[in-house]
Structure formats: structure tokens, C-alpha cells
Structure 1
């Protein structure tokens, strides 16, 4: 028994002589295909360890440039470790390898070559009973162990174990790659779609193939467009990872992998059609949504009803959506009018702050404080102070809000006091409630501002006021742009 493929072999080349040379992807053993290739450069440049390109491409593996490890990008956008590099060791996850073997209908051949030596003067015959001569199960494994002495030092005895095992390919349908990537109908979860008169939840599968539709399918089942309701907290993980997820007016997206229509017009709940949960939400996300599923104590929002059922165009009533569109429009029109944007572009760790901003998904102090910080950063910290300073004369100690106030007064804006008061409120709430340990002073500021409202209700009003400010500033900039010089 020996090695069919040794370290450093397995690369493309020719077999035979010049007269009958034939090209093979593996010139050492044409019937074998290496999974790991050691490319040797004999000290000129660093040697390279490579993973089979076909393995990487078929299994959709991405290499992390920092660690060198390979990850499989799942349908839900998560990264799953597939190949791990550690010193001189490479580990490939067995399920990934088995799926590859199934897809290619290849058997994997594993080799073991282990040599251990110890200083021992006993006769070699003492260890004869440990020797194994080509023991095989006659099917998929064999092993051999030899005992001997090193020629350079007769006091050292060594054992060498050679083993080979064949992992047979699973059935091709086990690869999980199209056309064998269908979800088992029994794997679709059941979501709460109603409740009995005694409060017992009524659940039904989200499998689209088992739901009723407008074409007569499954007439006794709930309709595909049955709304399923969730706590607004279900969106927090998506808001907090804006580099991967995008939460917009009526939709949630994961990069370019998946998109699902959602009803988020009312900040107090999120709703998704039952069939969309099974069709558009990846299987890996179902458990997350299930944990926030609640009985339908509300109704679908009017906005979503008009859009999804009546096919009408209508604007959102959620101030968060108006805030984000108004912010972008204000900057665009302001720059067109004065040649510079009112707000600077956020950079570094703050570059996605506008996507993280939301009406708090719950009334916890942590969520409330986080959104106060985001709102203050967007409306106050990012004010274009340098451009404002070039437009008006102010004292050296005047900050952004003061510079904006002077600029708006110079151009006879109608709502200077209202808007600068709002910005100072946002700044004060950030300073006394969110940014530092508030103490009794911060609690007093918070109590005065809330005036009996919940933090979510207060923040929603604050956002609505900011939208009104931005809409008026847009009108102001537009009218200023149309005035004769």
C-alpha cells in the first residue's frame, strides 16, 4: 500500500513521451482529482496551498483575505466556515465535502502516514506483534504498520502507520444544489394567523404550495395574502447591520440575495403575507421571525392595503420613511441652490447612520438612547459648518446650530426659531439622556420632554417635527432658487 498522490503533485501536466504525450489536469494520477494542492516554488517565493477551484466555485466559497479561510455564503446572507487554514493544517467541513462528492459523484480517498520514533534498546522482535501487513476490510479501508530501527542510530526504534480510507459519494440528490435544492414541505414552519375565541393561537404553514390563491388552489386553506403580524423588534437585527440589510418603505432586502415585501407603515407592528414568508424569506431566517410572531390584534395598514390589494400608488404614513427621503431631497436641493450640501456625508463608522435610524422598535432605554444618538448625529453633528462659516459672520465660539440660525436669518427664513429650537432639543436630549450618565438632571430633562408619552411615542413626534422642518427648508431653498438675482 502506498500513496496514490503525494504532496506537491496533482497539478496539470503531460504524461508519456514527446511522441504520445497526453495532457491531464493531474499529471501524477490522472484518475485522481486533488482537493488540496501544494504549489512549491523551492524557496524563490513562498509556497502556496490551494483549494480545488471547482470545489470553491461549485460550493460557492468566498475567501476571507485576512484569515485565508473559506466561507460558504448562505441564502440568508450569513457566512458559514467551510475551509479552515491553521498553520500547516487544513480542515474542510465534512457536510460541505459530502455535498461536493454527491454533486460530482466522486469518492474521497483519505491517506494517513504517521511515523513515531523512541529511543529503545530492546530487540526489534519484541515489537513484532504490533506489525500489521496490509490489513483491509476488502471494501473501503486498509491499514499497514511496520516496526524498524533507524540506520543512523540503532538505539532508536520507529513505527510507521499507513492507512487509506475511501468515502463513497452520497446520492447526487443529497448535494442540495439545483435542481435538488427544494425545501422539504414539512420543513416550512407554521405562523400564527389568528386565535380562537378562548385565545388559542391558530397557526398554518407558510408553504406557498399549500395556500389558497385567486386561481382556485387549496380552496379550504388560508389565502396566500393572509397577513402575519410581528413585534417591531423583529427588524432590529436588520437595522443594526446596514452593510448587509436594507430596511425601506415596504421592503426588507439582504444585499442582492433576497427581498421581502413588508408592511411597516405603522411603527407599532410589522406584517408580512403568509405566502411571502415561505417564498421570499430564506429558511435560515424563519426561526428569527417565529420568535416575534404575535396574534393579529391589528389590521393591515391602509397604505399596504392600497398598494398590495388595490394596486394603488400611495405614500407612507411612517415618519421614519418621510425623514429619510426628505433628508436626501433637502441635501440635493440645498446644494443645487447654494453650491454646497446642508449636511456633510457621514464617514467611517458613521457612514450607515441614516440606515440605522428608526423609530425605536421598543421602549427600552438602550434602544431609545441609541436612536437619540443617531438623530443628533444626522441633524446636528453633520451640519456643514465650514460652508456655513463662509456664508455668515459669527463669533469663534458659535457652533453648528448657531451658524445655521445666522444663515437662515440672513435669508429671511420664516421658521428660524421653531427649527433651531428643535435642533437644540435634539442636542440637549443627546447630551443629557443618551451620551452620558444622566443622573437626576438627565431624568428631569427626560420627564419634561416625554410629558407622559412613551419613549417611542416621543421619538415618533420628534421625527415628525424634523420632517416638517426639512420640508419647509426644501420649500425655502426652492423658492430662493427661483427668485430673480
Structure 2
């Protein structure tokens, strides 16, 4: 054993930090005992303002683990919620011995949990986390319970004790034994009481039963904030965005909360939408905005290269979302503006039209076509996606950069929506189809049965199907001849993934329009 270890230098450092970590967590429970020669324990409780001075004068604890004093029943059958007025447990040690076994764990003050309306999630009583759920559905960890320690986020704890005019007392008991103390340590026996504004503890060094003991016992005080302020008090933050240039050519930034900014427009890179497209379970993107269960932002998603937004509409976003949009904010250029569809809908007040953006137009057209087909034939040409794949339709979008991974994911979605979902069973009814013909071949036979031939359309569909074989693991197969022909057909290269994907969407719309013209008009 080293001298500093025996003297509990590491534990004294914890005491001096008041058990608060740099990332804002407060340790309120610990059970770090190694053996009878090296033991450590931390517990906590609350005291009223009136008890603070008396508690600071002694290092002993007012509440001990397993003896919390809530509730207390006295010999004359007197019931009291707390054993001592002004002293209140924050943690509760629960232990149960029953026929099948034994269990123990630490519970948290129910009043604290109820105050913040904390949501609990975990494997079991000894491994769980309590979360604060904000107005936008985001989870923030407040308490983490583990078998050997419990931590609480200090800002939540401070709000709680502030609103209640109380202090938190974090108690500690550390002890180490060694069979000998080398002379060069120059350690003397002592019984010292250390007191300051935030802690009171005793450090005892002595010989006991032939062993040398270093023992620290005491407590640290966490006081309330000087000003009462709760999470219920609204705190609005508004970011500034680019709205133009001044006379000297410098960018003009205006707050989305400023006055007289109706219909002022600011612009963003198309990549700003990737966050929402990539999480279709939480967000929905259409031609007129982004929506979630917790906010709605009106924006013009009908422009190919950028996203225009009315400055005042950004005010509706949570501050974290404003920051997300701000990093994609771009200066305006000549010719930039709102799409015709967005202008006619949001400014002129006309009924919503079909979107201008090719990805949104394809999705609208796909759904509209499938409904019309079902109305005429009694069955859908494209079968609905499986439940686990429904998010693919929501997340389908034009890619914002020449990224092979994004291209593969979106191109595969188009294949799944069209070729993979062809209703082969219905297409083959009443038609002689040679054995081995599937998918596209059945659609071609269906058209031939109706005296329709569209060779260019089937060239596209077959090349699209061949392309998918090269999309596995987001790399193109050099040995797959059909895939190489498909790449040549689409003119695919490392620098034009965006353009090729839009071409795929355009040809897919042409396919829907062609079938609609031949069968549904």
C-alpha cells in the first residue's frame, strides 16, 4: 500500500470536488468496499435551512442507509412521516428476504421523481435511468442507478432543493487498514476535525488491534441556488439568420423573433433536410414543411438546390432545431426564391398543388396512380410495403450530394417501391405466362395481352433491376456484366450520383404516366 493511498488522498480529492464531476453529475450513493481493509460508502439526505448550521458543526450523520426514518411509528402508536423534523431521506435502501431468495436495491425519493415527472427505464431495480422528457419529446438523463453508485444531474438537484429551501447532505465513510507504516512515511497518529463552508469531516489515524487505520467520516453540503428559478419558467432563445447584404456587401443577419419580418426569406442548403429524411420514424417531410409530434416548420421543399424558409416561421422551432438549421444557412443569390407551388399555396392562398420537387412529385404520383389502378382493376399494381419497410417511402428523397451510400439507399428504395412490389399474382391471372418469367416479365406479358408494347420503358426497368445487383454493400460489381451495362445506360460515375438518381425518378414518373395514359384514361 502506498502512503497517499493509506492517507485516503484520492477520497479527499472527491470531498474537495463535492462529488460533482466536470460533466455536471453529482454522486449521491456509493458502495466501493473491496474488503474489510478497504471500505468506502456514500449516502445522502436532505435538511432544512434551519438545520444547516447544526449539521455543519458535527461530522456524524443524521440518517443512515437502511434507517431512513420514513415513516416512523412510536410506542404509543404515533405515526410521523419523518422521524425528525427538518431531516428528510432522499434515498431509501430496500431489502427483502423471502422463501425464494433475497433482493436489495436503492430507491429514489418519489417526491423528486414526481416534481420533474421523470420517466424510468432500465433492466431492473439496480440498473435503471430516470429521464426528464421535455416539451419536444427529448430525453435528458437525470438519475442513473447502478449497483455500486447512483448519480444525479446537479442542475436538476439544485432546482429541487432551491424550490424547497433545503440543502442536500452527501455523507461519506472511508477506511483503510495496513499492517505496517514505513518510517519514511512520517505519518503521525491524529484525530483531526476539518471544517469549511462546504464540508465537515473527521480524519482519524490510529493503531487498532495491531493494524494501522486511516478513517475519514463526514459530509459535504450542497446548497440551494441564490435565485429561485424552475424549469417551468419559459426561456425562449431565437437565432439570427441571413436575409441579404448591406450597402457594403456584408451579410445581414436578423433574428427570427424580430418585428416586421413577415415574408422575409432566408435560404438553406438542401442537406438540412437529411436529418429528417434519415429518421422517418420521428419526422415527416413533404412539399410544404417538416413535421414531428412536437413541432412543425413550414418550408419550401419544392426547390431542387436549396430550401427557402420565411424567417418568421423559424421562430416555431425549438432552439436546438434552430441551431441545426443555422449551420446550413446560405447567402441569397440572383434567381433564388420560392417555388411556384409554394408561392401559390402559402402567399396566394390557393389549394395545395402537386409539388415541384421531383422526389415529392414521384411520391404523390405513385400513391395517386396506385389508387386509380385499384379503382379500375380492383387490385393495386404495386403491393403495399411490408410493415418494417413503410419508413422507406417516407424517407425517399433526392440526395443532397454525390454520395454513393445515399445513392444506393435511395435507388434501392425506388426498386422496392416499383419492381419488387409488382402484383405478380394479379398480373398473371388469365394470361399464359411461360415458366420462369417473374416481375418485369409478367408486367410486359400483361401489357402484350392488352396489345400494348412499350420497349423503352422495359429497357429502363430491366437496367434499373440490373443496377440493384451492384448496390449490395454500396459498391458496384465489376464482374456483373448486366450491372456494367446498367451503369453505362444511366451514365453512372463517381461525380454524378445526384443527377443519375433524379434521372431514375424522372423515368419512374414517365413509367407511371405511360401506364396511366394507356390504362386509366
Query: Smaller-chain TM-score range?
Result: 0.7 to 0.9
Query: In the alignment, what sits opposite 2:252?
Result: 202
Given that residues 343 and 384 in structure 1 are in contact (C-alpha distance below 8 angstroms), is that contact kept between their aligned partners in structure 2?
A: yes
Matches within 5 A, 1:428-439: 428-432=466-470, 435-439=474-478
Given that residues 228 and 272 in structure 1 are in contact (C-alpha distance below 8 angstroms), is that contact kept between their aligned partners in structure 2?
A: yes
Query: In the alignment, what sits opposite 1:84?
Result: 144
1:456 to 498, 506, 521: 498
Name whichever structure is richer in helix by fraction: 1
Structure number with greater CO (CA < 8 Å, separation at least 6) is 2
1:372 correspondence with 2:430: no
Given that residues 189 and 204 in structure 2 are in contact (C-alpha distance below 8 angstroms), is that contact kept between their aligned partners in structure 1?
A: no
1:108 correspondence with 2:168: yes
The CA distance in 1 between the partners of 2:86 and 2:517, in whole Å, is 74
Shift of 1:354: 1.1
Query: In the alignment, what sits opposite 2:356?
Result: 317
Q: Against the structure 1 CA distance between its residues 227 and 164, is the aligned structure 2 distance closer, same or farther, given a 3 Å change threshold?
A: same
Q: Against the structure 1 CA distance between its residues 318 and 130, is the aligned structure 2 distance closer, same or farther, given a 3 Å change threshold?
A: same
Gaps (5+ residues) in structure 1? Answer: 213-222, 480-485
Given that residues 191 and 293 in structure 1 are in contact (C-alpha distance below 8 angstroms), is that contact kept between their aligned partners in structure 2?
A: yes
The CA distance in 2 between the partners of 1:445 and 1:112, in whole Å, is 71
* 1:257 counterpart SS class: coil
Q: Against the structure 1 CA distance between its residues 5 and 406, is the aligned structure 2 distance closer, same or farther, given a 3 Å change threshold?
A: farther
1:288 correspondence with 2:324: yes
1:5 correspondence with 2:63: yes
* 2:97 counterpart SS class: coil
Shift of 1:264: 0.7
Q: Against the structure 1 CA distance between its residues 413 and 287, is the aligned structure 2 distance closer, same or farther, given a 3 Å change threshold?
A: farther
Q: Against the structure 1 CA distance between its residues 29 and 384, is the aligned structure 2 distance closer, same or farther, given a 3 Å change threshold?
A: farther
1:249 correspondence with 2:287: yes
Shift of 1:78: 4.6
Query: In the alignment, what sits opposite 1:383?
Result: 422
Question: Residues 49-76 of structure 1, C-alpha deviation per residue, up to 9 Å, x if partnerless?
Answer: 3333443444454444456333444556
Q: Against the structure 1 CA distance between its residues 343 and 104, is the aligned structure 2 distance closer, same or farther, given a 3 Å change threshold?
A: farther
The CA distance in 2 between the partners of 1:37 and 1:243, in whole Å, is 39
Q: Against the structure 1 CA distance between its residues 372 and 157, is the aligned structure 2 distance closer, same or farther, given a 3 Å change threshold?
A: same
Q: Against the structure 1 CA distance between its residues 81 and 443, is the aligned structure 2 distance closer, same or farther, given a 3 Å change threshold?
A: farther
Name whichever structure is richer in strand by fraction: 2
The CA distance in 1 between the partners of 2:340 and 2:320, in whole Å, is 30
Q: Against the structure 1 CA distance between its residues 97 and 265, is the aligned structure 2 distance closer, same or farther, given a 3 Å change threshold?
A: same
Of 114-123 and 290-299, more deviation after overlay is shown by 114-123
* 1:69 counterpart SS class: strand
Query: In the alignment, what sits opposite 2:154?
Result: 94
The CA distance in 2 between the partners of 1:304 and 1:93, in whole Å, is 45
Shift of 1:470: 3.7
Shift of 1:122: 9.4
Shift of 1:88: 1.4
Given that residues 190 and 206 in structure 2 are in contact (C-alpha distance below 8 angstroms), is that contact kept between their aligned partners in structure 1?
A: no
Given that residues 263 and 310 in structure 2 are in contact (C-alpha distance below 8 angstroms), is that contact kept between their aligned partners in structure 1?
A: yes
Q: Against the structure 1 CA distance between its residues 346 and 108, is the aligned structure 2 distance closer, same or farther, given a 3 Å change threshold?
A: same
Aligned residues: 448
Gaps (5+ residues) in structure 2? Answer: 1-58
2:259 to 208, 211, 235: 211
Matches within 5 A, 1:68-217: 68-74=128-134, 78-120=138-180, 129-133=189-193, 135-137=194-196, 139-148=197-206, 154-171=209-226, 173-175=228-230, 177-178=231-232, 180-183=233-236, 188-196=238-246, 199-206=249-256, 208=257, 210-212=258-260
* 1:170 counterpart SS class: coil
The CA distance in 2 between the partners of 1:69 and 1:419, in whole Å, is 56
Shift of 1:239: 0.9
1:39 to 78, 94, 102: 94
1:263 to 278, 287, 300: 300
Q: Against the structure 1 CA distance between its residues 110 and 477, is the aligned structure 2 distance closer, same or farther, given a 3 Å change threshold?
A: farther
* 2:200 counterpart SS class: strand
Given that residues 107 and 167 in structure 1 are in contact (C-alpha distance below 8 angstroms), is that contact kept between their aligned partners in structure 2?
A: yes
Q: Against the structure 1 CA distance between its residues 149 and 472, is the aligned structure 2 distance closer, same or farther, given a 3 Å change threshold?
A: farther
Query: In the alignment, what sits opposite 1:217?
Result: none
TM-score (ref. length: structure 1): 0.79
TM-score (ref. length: structure 2): 0.74
1:343 to 363, 369, 383: 383
CA RMSD, 1 decimal: 3.6
* 1:114 counterpart SS class: strand
Given that residues 120 and 157 in structure 1 are in contact (C-alpha distance below 8 angstroms), is that contact kept between their aligned partners in structure 2?
A: yes
Query: In the alignment, what sits opposite 2:18?
Result: none
